[in-house]
A and B are shown apart, each in its own frame.
Chain A
Amino acid sequence: MLYDKIKTIYPQLTIADFAPATGTIMLQNDSDGKGDYIAKWEHPTFPRPTDEELA
């Protein structure tokens, strides 16, 4: 799962980092069969993981 993969890369992240509206990372799933994806990544310290890291 995307969330778990990101947490593996950055174990320091907490659920607050993914909180709607206030978090700096937004994961989204549009229930269209395409699965979870990163809708927003604005974390001040950690760079957005690459596709290779998330594969």
Chain B
Amino acid sequence: MASIITATVASGLTQSADNSGVLQLASGTGNLVTVPSVTGTAMVSGNMPAFSAFGNVSYSITTGVDTKVRFETERFDTANCFDSTTNYRFTPNVAGYYQINYIGRFQATSPTIAYVMLYKNGSMYIVGNQIMGIASGTNFDLPASDLVYMNGTTDYLEVYINVGGTSILVNDNGTTTFVSSFSGYLARAA
């Protein structure tokens, strides 16, 4: 049982009440939504940030240095939370838990080891992936993902890469498919 507020073409807005303590909203007949008995903001697709960006302009980095990966091109950024021009960071404007996916693409001469890392608020959050035994001079993709809590105001995420070797290039010029990438979406509001 539930108290129900219903909108119909025939009757406009109607309501029925009981003492169940449960509230349901109905648009038309048979389309019921139960309002959850928790405190929070109702999330709909329009206010749940999602973004996807990639980097396809290659640049040199130094061996043994945690270097921020640049993502200059956005595929989409629904809430304008990704900075693709200056800091290459995601600063979501809704507090909650975000599914984050990232790929560091690189090549190097005689590479020994490589890491791709997620940084939160300027400090390492996690080493998402590492690999050894990479072929020299071959482009390689190092993928990782995580679920990260963000406070919706000041928290931000960036991707860093660290490669041992010489003549190291991050990203891959020109292509839009073989790229370093960074994407995420709100999985659950706080």
Contacts and interface: CB of A to CB of B under 8 A. Distances in A.
Interface of A: 1-3, 15, 18-21, 26-32, 36, 39
B137 interface: no
B66 interface: yes
Contacts, number: 57
Given A20-B124, A21-B124, A27 B66 contact: yes
Given A20-B124, A20-B127, A2 B117 contact: no
Interface string B64-78: 111111100000000
Contacts of A32: 68, 86-87
A6 B173 CA distance: 31
A35 to B, nearest CB: 9
Contacts of B69: 31
Contacts of A27: 62, 64-66
A1 to B, nearest CB: 5
A20 B68 contact: no
B164 interface: yes
A15 B164 CA distance: 7
- 3 smallest beta-carbon distances between A and B, as pairs: A18-B64, A31-B68, A27-B65
B16 to A, nearest CB: 59
Interface string B28-70: 0000000000000000000000000000000101111111111
Contacts of A36: 62, 65
A36 B162 CA distance: 12
